[in-house]
Amino acid sequence: MFQSLFSPSVQHAIDLIGIFVFAISGALLAVRKNFDVFGIAVLAEVTALGGGLFRDLIIGAVPPAAFTDLGYFLTPLLAALLVFFLHPEVERLESWVNVFDAAGLGLFCVAGTTKAYEYGLGLTASATLGLATAVGGGVLRDVLANEVPSLLRWDRDLYAVPAMVGATMVAVCIRCDMLNPVTSALAVITAFVLRLLAMRYHWRAPRAWNRRSTVVEVREGAQP
């Protein structure tokens, strides 16, 4: 329906890069949680492919791309192997991993929004699914690792907001009939740069106003 942002083969290569860096973040968490090599592979796969899988189930694109494209499936395994053997080196490169992760965030929120719209969803729903494509894998990763999703925690730099901005830009462009490779690239870059700035300046989202009254409840919640 839309002219793709890049030629299919270039787009595919970009997808694989995004999948690879997401998988690295999953594999690193698995190492920190002391999982075995199989757990590392599972967390790499889930982090890299979970968001797209969710989107594809919602829009009815079954079987999902994660199960029809062998490259999508093998790339996280490669990332898992790399982390398995070289994780101290990979962790030393963590700031670079974060930069690539930001790029993946930008690419996935734009690609997710576009794909959802192509399957007939409305603009708001498409942007929401674009956001879910970008952040869903990380949420699944944290749920499987039995941690509070870092996406939801107030003490983490903004992660979802850059993806929301990128997805919204795509939706607005579709609405104005202006979605083309240039505007798509602009949306990717905006999300990417916003995420980099959020990491650089530790931007955080506010918590609920006037929290004094709930201090006691937080303590209760901490030991259920």
- Which residues of the chain form contacts with a copy of itself (CB under 8 A)? 30-40, 42-43, 53, 57-60, 62-64, 67-68, 70, 73-74, 83-85, 87-88, 91, 119-122, 124-125, 128-129, 139, 143-149, 151-154, 160-161, 204-211, 213-214, 217-218, 220-221, 224
Please report how close the Cβ of residue 82 comes to a copy of itself at its closest, in angstroms.
11
Contact in structure between 86 and 170 (CB atoms under 8 Å) = no
In 3D space, the residue among 68, 69, 79, 67 whose CA is nearest the CA of residue 104 turns out to be: 79
Give the residue with the Cβ less far from a copy of itself, 10 or 94. 94
- What's the DSSP call for residue 180? S
Instruction: Compute the CA torsion angle 40, 42, 45, 48 (nearest 10 deg).
Output: -70
Give the residue with the Cβ less far from a copy of itself, 8 or 224. 224
Spatial separation of the C-alpha atoms in residues 188 and 71, rounded to whole Å: 22
Please report how close the Cβ of residue 118 comes to a copy of itself at its closest, in angstroms.
12
Give the residue with the Cβ less far from a copy of itself, 3 or 146. 146
Give the residue with the Cβ less far from a copy of itself, 202 or 204. 204
Please report how close the Cβ of residue 96 comes to a copy of itself at its closest, in angstroms.
17
Contact in structure between 170 and 131 (CB atoms under 8 Å) = no
Please report how close the Cβ of residue 77 comes to a copy of itself at its closest, in angstroms.
10
Give the residue with the Cβ less far from a copy of itself, 55 or 179. 55
Please report how close the Cβ of residue 66 comes to a copy of itself at its closest, in angstroms.
8
Please report how close the Cβ of residue 45 comes to a copy of itself at its closest, in angstroms.
9
Q: Which residue has the tokens 């192997």?
A: 81
Q: Which residue has the tokens 């949306």?
A: 187
Give the residue with the Cβ less far from a copy of itself, 6 or 12. 12
As given in the structure block, the two tokens for residue 153 are 């925690």
Spatial separation of the C-alpha atoms in residues 141 and 150, rounded to whole Å: 10
Q: 160 CB contacts (<8 Å, ≥6 apart)?
A: 131, 135, 151
